[in-house]
Chain A
Amino acid sequence: MEEREISAEERKIRDHIVMCNWTSKSDEIIKELHSGVIRDPRPIVVVTTQRGKVPESSEPHYQGVLVVPGDPADDRTLIRAGIEYANTAIVLADETQGEHADTKSILISLAIEAIQPRVHTIVELLNSKHRGHFDHTYVDEITCVDELSEKLIAQCAITHGISDVYLHLLTATDDTNEVYMVDVPRRFVGKTFRELEHFLIDYEEQDIIPVGLVTQEVMEKKGQILRNHGGKEIVGGFLTINPPGDNVHVDGKRKSRDYKLQEEDKIVVIAYEYPELEQL
């Protein structure tokens, strides 16, 4: 872990992950992001006012972790963290703020967006009631811890032992599976999901199970088509899990199992490591 206070910008770090706020979750996240199974681990730049909380660790997954002290809601700090060139921004809820944690997170997200709207922003929400405030932002993903755990607990009561399955899928190691989204292999453009399933069952080179697909659709929010500043419709990825075969479940954007995959689509798979499907 780097100690000197040189900004990420100076070091010309690109395509990295900016983590705003250091919390009890940060250590676990770094461990996952830098686990051995990740092919090209990205550098992580931690922006926090509590510099002292970040441990001085010589463990392998702390290689490539840089600390930029400062307030994550402050523009200059974000620029020093190289937000303009970052690939992903993770905004963690600042536990010391108590019930104002979510408000702070919104401020940080707005600051990030103002400088670099294209960075993929993930925000951790403490109170699900604040979800509505993010409607006015372009935050890409919101993780509400409370909601997740209550759903998981309810599932455990219905299906005993299900948390093992989720934990397995969520942990990134060599002998556990993860969920990946990959481009449709050239060979399968124009073919259906069903044909893909047939092929992968017997494909012994890599163990892959397809579970869904992402198609490019016009984005809607609450029934309204989203448009950009020029009035053009915004097209985004629409996820279909377990595409249905019959017409009962097929509605609107949900694709059926016999839908012909297109070039810009992605398939969602479970695999031990990032699937290499281009050479098929």
Chain B
Amino acid sequence: MERHRVWISFRSFIANLIDRYQLNTIFKLLIYLVLIWIIGSTWLYFTEKDYKLTQTEIARGEVNYFDSFVGSFRNNIIYIFSGFEDYVPHTTAGWFGSIFVMLFGSLGVMALLIGNVTTIIQEGTRRAQFVRRKPTYGKFHHHIVICNWSKKVYEIINQLHDPVLTEQKPIVIVSESADQIPIKYTNVPLSRFKNVYYIKGDPTSTEILLLAGIERAKTAIILADERLGIRKYSGMLDNTSNDSTDRLFASSDPTDVKNRRKLIDAKSILIGMVAESINPEVHTAVELVDSHSRIHFERTRIDEIICADTIASKLIAQCATTNGLSEFYVRLLTATQDSNEIYFVKVNGGLIDKTFRQVQKIVLERKLDTILIGFVTKRKKETLDRHGKQVDERVVVINPKSKENMNSNFNRNYVLGKNDYLIAIAYEKPSNPNFFLTD
């Protein structure tokens, strides 16, 4: 069972509040205030209680306000908030007491409190413009780590925190290239930044990755560090500037460009390797800018490579052959309530031990708005790995063939097992029991 919620104990919840609103300063000030109040009240009680009012004073209507212990405390509050009013002391020692309270209590601590609250509100407003720094206390589980910051992060957050997804995993961004990550004036609704945190540090370092909780993370996305070698970036980002082309093509000399691309990829693959070595189970997806770097990835344990160049080239070629295809793919890739996506659905319940063709027919009969396009299974790799062990490799079968093929049994009559997945195009991830035949 996946646990994706942030596991924060009660103690750290309080720690969070204190940290966020700088409550420790306010607590200190409040304690001072209370102390001053107690000292002042006690002083005034003991100095004023035995005072006998003179005839003229009684005639004027004055009262000894400090003759009872409780009364003394009660009336002292007025000093703090407003001043003497009618509660004038009658002994000289009493006067010292009230001056003490007013100077240190009212003018001193109260003013500080008000000043502090104002600063806190200002700081809060300023902080609200950026992604929050990851607090040291919080432990995340099954979260997503994004290494290297670039413009792409916004769209990724947009998709990953879309309300249509029932699980909203926390996202931790690790990068050394930005002091702050702005969240206003992007196309992403502010609510989607709720569980997003930022660690400023070098993503190739083990310590930083551990800080990000890589050993408990589910996915690690490593983006290309487009600002590599250009300049140390600090300050606000200008969302209108053309970030990616600026960085990738900083010089127009093609050899320069090529070398930079190779360096960017080298760094990305390095981060992937470090992540996998700390946590081999984390699913690493690395963005490559040069398709020739692919060969290096094959020697690592990185799970997925996304090469924008390759995808774009293939898509452009497909569009030239079949006009209008770009819309098809863009729609499939955009995750919203109203559009289709491709999902992997774990084979469950009544679907186990049925053939692919049978499941296709079931989906049709039950009029589920889903189209099955294939399945994913595992098989033993033919070559042994470095240690001489036989490992599994994932096999993705799309549009399984009908005719029996001598070389493989991955056709429409393949019997689905309980570790297999179905590949489906649907409006949302199929989860209702109807789909799994568990009525």
Instruction: Decide: B364 and A201 in contact? CB cutoff 8 A.
Output: yes
Are A127 and B320 interface neighbours, CB within 8 A? no
Contact with B319, one of A143, A241, A268, A270 (Cβ below 8 angstroms) = A143
Interface-side segment among A70-78, A107-115, A209-217, A226-234:
A209-217
Contact B340 A155 (CB under 8 A): no
CB-CB under 8 A for A96 and B249, given A90-B316, A141-B326: yes
Kindly provide the distance from the CB of B216 to the nearest chain A CB, expressed in whole angstroms.
16
Contact digits for B362-375, partner A, Cβ 8 Å, 1 yes 0 no = 00100111111110
- Flag whether A184 is at the interface (Cβ < 8 A): no
* B425 and A241 form a contact (CB under 8 A): yes
Within 8 A of A (CB), among B374-404: 374, 376, 394, 396, 398-403
Inter-chain contact B364/A194, CB cutoff 8 Å: yes
Q: Cβ of B324 < 8 Å from any Cβ of A?
A: yes
Contact string, A144-188, partner B, CB cutoff 8 A, digits 1/0? 011111111111111111111111111110001111110000000
Binds A, one of B46-54, B59-67, B197-205, B329-337: B329-337
Q: How far is the CA of A212 from the CA of B308 in the complex (A)?
A: 26
Minimum CB–CB distance from A105 to chain B (whole Å) comes to: 12
**Given A141, A148, A272, which contacts B399 in the complex, CB threshold below 8 Å?**
A272
On chain B, the residues within 8 Å of A177 by CB distance are 398-399
Q: Is the CB of B364 within 8 A of A198?
A: yes
B245 CB contacts on chain A under 8 angstroms: 98-99, 101, 126-127
CB-CB nearest in chain A for B401: A207
Tell me whether B328 and A179 are in contact (CB under 8 A).
yes
Distance in angstroms between the alpha carbons of A241 and B426 in the assembled complex: 9
Q: Is the CB of A157 within 8 A of B320?
A: no
Q: What are the residues of chain A within 8 A of B319 when measuring CB–CB?
A: 122, 141, 143
Residue numbers of B with Cβ under 8 A of A are 144, 151-152, 155-156, 158-160, 165, 219, 221, 223, 240, 242, 244-246, 249-250, 252, 254, 257, 283, 285, 287, 290-291, 303-306, 308-335, 338-344, 357, 360-361, 364, 367-374, 376, 394, 396, 398-403, 423, 425-427
Cβ of B316 to closest chain A Cβ, rounded Å = 6
In the bound assembly, the distance between CA atoms of A169 and B244 in angstroms comes to 27
- In this complex, what residue of A is CB-closest to B288? A149
Within A113-141, which residues are at the interface with B (CB < 8 Å)? 120, 122, 124, 126-127, 129, 140-141
Complex alpha-carbon distance, A163 and B376, angstroms: 13
User: Which residues of the other chain, A, contact B318 by a CB distance below 8 angstroms?
Assistant: 32, 170, 172, 178-179
Report Cα–Cα, A172/B312, bound state, in Å: 14
- Least Cβ–Cβ distance between A172 and chain B, in angstroms: 7
Instruction: Kindly identify which residue among B287, B326, B364, B369 contacts A149, using a CB–CB cutoff of 8 Å.
Output: B287
Q: Does A28 contact B (CB under 8 A)?
A: yes
| A242 located at the interface, meaning its Cβ lies under 8 Å from any Cβ of chain B in the complex | yes
A150 touches B155 (CB 8 A): yes
9 further contact pairs, Cβ within 8 A, besides A88-B323, A153-B306, A178-B322: A28-B309, A98-B246, A98-B252, A99-B245, A141-B327, A143-B316, A158-B160, A169-B398, A268-B328
Q: In the assembled complex, which residues on chain B have CB atoms less than 8 Å from the CB atom of A169?
A: 398
Q: Could you tell me if B328 and A239 are in contact, using CB atoms closer than 8 angstroms?
A: yes
Count A interface residues, CB 8 Å: 87
Contact yes or no, A165 B342, CB < 8 A: yes
Q: Does A204 count as interface, using CB distance less than 8 angstroms?
A: yes
- Dominant SS at the A interface? mixed
Would A166 and B311 be within 8 Å (CB), given that A98-B246, A122-B316, A179-B318 are in contact?
yes
- Cα–Cα distance between A114 and B345 once the two chains are bound (Å): 49
A17, CB-defined interface residue at 8 Å: yes
Is A33 a contact of B321 with CB atoms below 8 Å?
yes
The answer for the CA separation of A122 and B310 in the assembled complex, in Å, is: 16
Closest to B402 in A: A204
Give chain A residues whose Cβ lies under 8 Å from the Cβ of B152.
146, 149-150, 153
Given A143-B312, A153-B156, check contact A90 B364 (CB 8 Å). Answer: no
- B283→A160 contact, CB < 8 A: yes
- A179 vs B314: C-alpha distance in the bound complex, in angstroms? 12
- Contact, CB under 8 Å: A141 / B340: no
Nearest Cβ on chain B to A60's Cβ, whole angstroms? 16
Contacts of B344 in A (CB 8 A): 159-162
Q: In the complex, what distance in Å separates the CA atom of A154 from the CA atom of B240?
A: 23
**What are 11 residue pairs bridging A and B, where the CB atoms are less than 8 Å apart in the complex?**
A25-B312, A38-B321, A149-B306, A163-B305, A166-B333, A167-B314, A170-B314, A180-B322, A181-B324, A201-B364, A245-B369
Contacts of A92 in B (CB 8 A): 316
Are A165's CB and B316's CB within 8 A? no
Given A141-B324, A143-B312, verify A241-B340 contact (CB < 8 Å): yes
Interface residue? A5 (CB, 8 A): no
| Residue contact A122 to B326, C-beta cutoff 8 Å | yes
With A32-B313, A179-B318: A127-B242 Cβ-Cβ less than 8 Å: yes
